[in-house]
Structure 1
Amino acid sequence: MLLPLLLSLLSEGTRAQEYRLQAASSVMVQEGLCVFVPCSLTYPQDSWTSDTPAYGYWFRSETHTISGFPVATNRPDREVQADTQGRFLLMGDPSQYNCSLLLREARREDSGWYLFRLERGPQVKYNFKQWLYLDVAALTQKPDIFIPGMLEPGQPANAVCVFKLTSEHCPAPTFSWTGAAVSAHATQPLRSHFSVLSLTPRPQDQGTGLTCHADFAAKSTQETVHLRLAYAPKDLVISVSWDKASAPEPLAGVRLLEAPKGRSLRLLCAADSQPPATLTWLLGDRVLSRSLPSGPTSLALELPGLEPADSGHYTCHAANGRGSQNRSLDLAVQYPPESLTVIVSQGNRTVLENLGNGTALPVLEGQSLRLVCSTHSQPPAQLSWARGTQTLSRSQPSEPGVLELPRVQPEHEGALTCLAQNPLGSLRVFLSLSVQYEGLASVAFSKGVYLGIGVTTLLFLCLILIIVKMLRKKPAQPAVPRAKVSRSSTILDYINVVPKVRTQKAKPGSPSQPAAPGAHSPEPRRKQKGPHGPAPTAPPQAPRSECGQEELHYAALSFPGPRPWAASTSAETHVDYAEIKFH
């Protein structure tokens, strides 16, 4: 008993090696679509010829292969299951060792295991052991729509809808188009795996939907695209975020943005355009940053640690080949008053600038005084001048603080305060105003003049005394003979000289004394005579003052009395000039 069983098993194993089927073990198809399953087989040539027909059958795993109905077969007289008729097709010829299967209009209930059976001649009747699993999934595949290039309003363009088929044996869907841009002149749908639509977009078609429908016998699928026409930048929006992690907040209608000094700021500019616009951030006329062509549709500007220099007019500029658009924003960096300065003017002349705190300010009584106080702050500070608790002047914000004193009076004397104040803080500077009186200044000036004159006179007298002492210490010089005084001498010969006559007895061996002024000397008279008589004596030049005019001096002449002419020649009479008087 065991021997026949072993021989039977060996015979089955040998036959299994002769029957082989090559196909995918699992195939997936979406509901309503088509799938082609390639399949090939090998079987022995046993009791059949080339003219012997070969029949193939595809069965569900639960169907009896002898009495049941296959899902597909090439045998004309063999009935197939009603729900698979016309959908499952044996595309291969078993006589050519081909067992390929085509499934159209797949249904969810088609999922399961399938096997193939071959019959050829009286001996070849075999169910192949290689099974096929068919998986039918939900329909998710959609057609693809292609619109080449950029659509221009009023310019004809083509839209192509393509549905990818798994095999050329699968039937193509029926295409149709819907949408605002589809006109009555659109091409009719074609029974192919793609369809072409000619359209002429209008400006109002921007953003409208264009839909391609792919219809199969049992199912349909579709795809929609929104038309993108070339247009200039629009809907330009500036957003702000205070921290890197915070979401940007659109600044709709905001023209002035106030931010405290030291805080970080991020400005984001975004625009809608086709093709994408080039975005540029500017501060005034200076370019801060710029996006690359065809780059992102937004551009961020980072402003870390705001400073007063960051204040200004910011502009986001978006431009492409169709046009441009701008949005502007004024940024004001807020800070308390800084660096108070004071300028002092008298009349139209500036006398002091940038005075520091506690500076002394002396001013003459009756003079005009103008004090101008200024500072830097945002928002603009209000400046005021005060003396103690009394406010003297107050300016409008953004204007300097001015204090006008047309005539400085004693009651103006004291501490003056300039106060700069805005909502963020305040700053002040103190000045000490002192009034100088003009009368006291004149008395002091006069006393100084008199003191100078007295000191100068004293120094001059001391100098004269020193000169006189020096002259007295000099040795006596030989007497120089003086010219005799004749009756023809004029009064000018005696100016500035006061003679003092003293009579003394001549001593033996004493040197001869000079002759008296009235004595006649032959030699001098010979020298005075000219061709026509005695030469006149030249009058002495009068001294001149510093102003160039002649200055008169007075001299006194003393005559002791009339003397005989001969007595003037007495040897005992001597004249010394001992005194000079200046008047």
Structure 2
Amino acid sequence: MLPLLLLPLLWGGSLQEKPVYELQVQKSVTVQEGLCVLVPCSFSYPWRSWYSSPPLYVYWFRDGEIPYYAEVVATNNPDRRVKPETQGRFRLLGDVQKKNCSLSIGDARMEDTGSYFFRVERGRDVKYSYQQNKLNLEVTALIEKPDIHFLEPLESGRPTRLSCSLPGSCEAGPPLTFSWTGNALSPLDPETTRSSELTLTPRPEDHGTNLTCQMKRQGAQVTTERTVQLNVSYAPQTITIFRNGIALEILQNTSYLPVLEGQALRLLCDAPSNPPAHLSWFQGSPALNATPISNTGILELRRVRSAEEGGFTCRAQHPLGFLQIFLNLSVYWRSNLGTGVVPAALGGAGVMALLCICLCLIFFLIVKARRKQAAGRPEKMDDEDPIMGTITSGSRKKPWPDSPGDQASPPGDAPPLEEQKELHYASLSFSEMKSREPKDQEAPSTTEYSEIKTSK
């Protein structure tokens, strides 16, 4: 009688263990082309402990295909054929014995877009397709960009390791190829720039330049890249001092500047660095704890005084080091402005003296030439009138009508032709000359005669 009473209880327990097929999976999954995605999945199916223990097989199929004949996209059954286009890209992850049906999709392609359903098989008792819970996969164009990783800030002269990776990529599918470009990579071997990692030793001139990592999956036309701007920290390399926008000449970290007394002076000290160095001015050569006269890069003197003549130092302090330059300021007083004019005046006087000497030399040569010309003429008679002596023999005039020269000489008294002397007369006018005689003295006759003797 007791077994009959227990029978309904056993039936009740069997009713409570009613076979249940459940699948928990995302309804929709989106992945970019060339990337991978993991789809979590878990399932349940009815199983009795007194059942036999055949192996458990699970499958993922394309929607609309017949499980008994179609090729699967992923399975743990080595005897089932997998679609060639999904081979190695669609994989089951997790332990199916623990009812884990998670699916990994790598190197997603546009043709992978569609619906998929899950199926479980175990012996002859369990053969079930979860058609009610399907996975909808959508593959979109690649818009993801790679990430460039490195420790910031970059420091000039210190080697730094950089790596490039693509979020969402996985090991499944063809490998990725990398390409680095940028001015900072010019000293590197081209082969080095084809790896996902490289070692870079930045320089000061690399600050602010671009570095690009480009990724491409082999066998696919999918390419993506990212560009970053390098932030290189470096100490000041040079210091330049400007006056009115003009850079002063610097030799061996020293510059010389002459300034007029009372003149306004404004100097700008510039030391390129990153981050910007702290600039300050000191009078003279600064000691270790010297107090600056200016905590900026500007030194301004409203009126330069003679007491300010001497040295000034501009210092650029940076976390990676410091640099300084010495400026020698020379003040010119107004009282010694002539010292600058004297050389010019002396130079001008020298030119004038040379010009005068040349003129005197020319005059001397002309006078000497005239004297030589005069020395070649006949000497004057001792009794020759000074005025009439200036008349040359070539200046002959006809004799006056009443002069003795008009009378003919007797033929018998004529001397030889060689001894004949010619008489010449001239008329002179002294109307323009002042008389040397006293005013009360009667002026002589305005007409005078002079005898000019010439020898042939």
TM-score, L = length of structure 2 = 0.48
Higher relative contact order (CA 8 A, sep 6+): 2
TM-score, L = length of structure 1 = 0.39
